[in-house]
């Protein structure tokens, strides 16, 4: 039963380790109670037991999924899933391999929310995603680029797709656009200007460019906010990262709670989003950008991700390490005022999870009402 004591009409099957999905469904739950069902691997259950797993405010029921590439076993998971779903009429599915569950959900309305281009990863199968799209009454994608791929690769009509980019909680958007950066939490770096790389420090970043720019701009100070993930780094990337970690003008905070990130984003003179061309997903919707937008500071990024490219001039793109250094130097000369601070803040006001959830709810609501009328 939902918090209001009524049967759930909506359910969502998703990995709660994926923050974007958790935040979206929490926002949707405020409009219509959502029965969360999260799938975890054995090592994730261990992290939950140790209290080191990401907290999910939706408090989903958790289902064990075997193997590193999660696969549902309908014969085993089917009865379990039906019991957890209860009377839910609409079910959000969120990963291609969940197509195996479609026979179990034959008497319910299915919506598919794709927050990534899963064909970018080898262990996902296009036939699974095609099956989800064909079965769904509503399909949500995280970017216009992903919508274009679905139209091209799956032959789906564009009007069947609703674009729901990543977002941010409304509470992270200040009431007015900040005119200047705030204090750096913890006081380090103590000198300015401060350039921020906010989000996981991992294989997605161009550490060679970052090292070049740090060494080329002796007046710059750098703040890396996020957990340090060394897996999947090349030997060269590992070497560059070690140089940055040891550099006196670079501060690495380590992992921070999501609600702590805005205070860091608000403190930088400019944000840097240096995606690695080896791993950039062109159809993705970058969470790093949405963390930064509410505070209006200039954003300098690398090309390759359409969602960033489509936001020029709110985002300045640089195509080499030297271009990145030049862009930051020019911002310094302009007092870090590119005249676009207010526009970035305004965009953040229209990019909240609450607004994303409202769009999704209006798309699925008619199908729930239709099913109610048939009872």
147 plus 198 within the same structural domain: no
Residues 193 and 338 occupy one common structural domain: yes
Rounded average pLDDT over 345-355: 96
Phi, psi of 63 (to 5 degrees): -120, 135
- Sheet containing strand 315-317, edge to edge, reads 250-252, 221-225, 194-198, 270-273, 299-301, 315-317
φ, ψ at 202 (rounded to 5°)? -150, -165
Q: Is residue 4 part of a domain?
A: no
Shared-domain flag, residues 94 and 141: yes
Instruction: For residue range 224-272, list pLDDT tens digits in order.
Output: 999 999 988 999 999 999 999 999 999 999 999 999 999 999 999 999 9
Nearest to 209 by CA among 255, 243, 248: 243
Cis peptide upstream of residue 81 (ω within 30 degrees of 0): no
Residue 286 scores a pLDDT above 80: yes
Q: Is residue 271 part of a domain?
A: yes
Residue carrying structure tokens 């999910």: 56
The answer to whether residue 3 is domain-embedded is no
pLDDT digits (tens, 9 = 90+) for 133-177: 999 999 999 999 999 999 999 999 999 999 999 899 999 999 999
The parent domain of residue 325 ranges over 170-349
Residues 122 and 234 in one domain: no
Among 44-53, 117-126, 142-151, 315-324, the minimum mean pLDDT is found in 44-53
Q: How confident is the model at residue 127 (pLDDT cuts 50, 70, 90)?
A: very high
Q: Is the pLDDT of residue 290 over 70?
A: yes
Tell me phi and psi for residue 348, to 5 degrees: -60, -35
Q: What is the pLDDT of residues 293-315, one digit of tens each?
A: 999 999 999 999 999 999 999 99
Task: Please give the Cα distance from 251 to 196 (Å, whole number).
Answer: 10
11 vs 87: CA distance, rounded Å? 9
> Are residues 108 and 186 part of one domain?
no
CATH number at residue 248: 3.40.50.2000
Q: Which two tokens stand for residue 260?
A: 């702590």
Number of domains in the chain: 2
Lowest mean pLDDT among 46-55, 121-130, 366-375: 366-375
Banded pLDDT at 43 (limits 50, 70, 90) = confident
For the stretch 205-220, pLDDT in tens is 999 999 999 999 999 9
Give the N- to C-terminal CA distance of the chain in Å, as an integer.
19
Q: Alpha-carbon distance 26 to 220, whole Å? A: 39
Contact 33, 2 (CB under 8 A): yes
Please check whether residues 100 and 184 belong to one and the same domain. no
Asked if the bond preceding 193 is cis, omega within 30° of 0, the reply is yes
Would you give the DSSP letter of residue 342?
H
* Residues 79 and 179 reside in one and the same domain: no
High-pLDDT (> 90) share of the chain, %: 78
Q: Please give the sequence-ordered ranges of beta strands (E in DSSP) within 215-346, or none if there are none.
A: 221-225, 250-252, 270-273, 299-301, 315-317
What pLDDT, on the 0 to 100 scale, is given for residue 54? Answer: 74
């Amino acid at each position: 039963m939902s918090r209001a004591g009524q049967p759930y009409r909506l359910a969502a099957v998703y990995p709660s380790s994926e923050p974007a999905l958790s935040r979206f469904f929490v926002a949707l739950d405020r409009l219509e109670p959502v029965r969360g069902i999260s799938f975890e691997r054995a090592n994730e259950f261990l992290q939950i037991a140790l209290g080191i797993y990401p907290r999910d405010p939706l408090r989903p029921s958790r289902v064990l999924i075997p193997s590193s590439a999660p696969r549902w076993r309908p014969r085993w998971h089917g009865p379990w899933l039906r019991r957890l779903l209860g009377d839910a009429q609409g079910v959000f599915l969120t990963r291609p391999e969940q197509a195996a569950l479609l026979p179990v959900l034959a008497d319910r309305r299915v919506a598919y929310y794709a927050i990534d281009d899963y064909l970018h990863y080898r262990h996902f199968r296009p036939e699974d995603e095609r099956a989800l799209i064909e079965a769904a009454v509503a399909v949500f994608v995280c970017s216009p680029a992903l919508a274009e791929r679905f139209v091209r690769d799956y032959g789906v009509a564009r009007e069947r797709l609703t674009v729901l980019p990543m977002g941010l909680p409304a509470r992270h958007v200040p009431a007015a656009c900040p005119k200047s950066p705030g204090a750096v939490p913890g006081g380090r770096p103590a000198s300015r200007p401060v350039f921020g790389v906010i989000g996981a420090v991992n294989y997605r970043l161009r550490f060679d460019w970052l090292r070049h720019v740090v060494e080329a701009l002796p007046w710059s100070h750098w703040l890396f906010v996020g957990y340090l993930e060394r897996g999947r780094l090349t030997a060269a990337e590992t070497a560059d990262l070690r140089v940055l970690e040891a550099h006196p003008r670079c501060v690495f905070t380590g992992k921070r709670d999501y609600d702590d990130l805005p205070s860091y984003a608000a403190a930088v003179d400019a944000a840097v989003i240096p995606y690695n061309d080896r791993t950039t997903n062109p159809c993705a919707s970058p969470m790093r950008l949405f963390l930064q937008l509410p505070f209006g500071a200039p954003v300098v990024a690398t090309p390759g991700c359409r969602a960033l490219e489509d936001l020029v001039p709110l985002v300045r793109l640089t195509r080499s390490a030297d271009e990145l250094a030049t862009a930051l130097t020019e911002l310094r000369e302009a007092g870090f005022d590119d005249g676009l601070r207010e526009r970035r803040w305004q965009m953040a006001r229209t990019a909240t999870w609450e607004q994303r959830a409202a769009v999704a709810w209006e798309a699925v609501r008619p199908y729930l009402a239709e099913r109610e009328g048939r009872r």
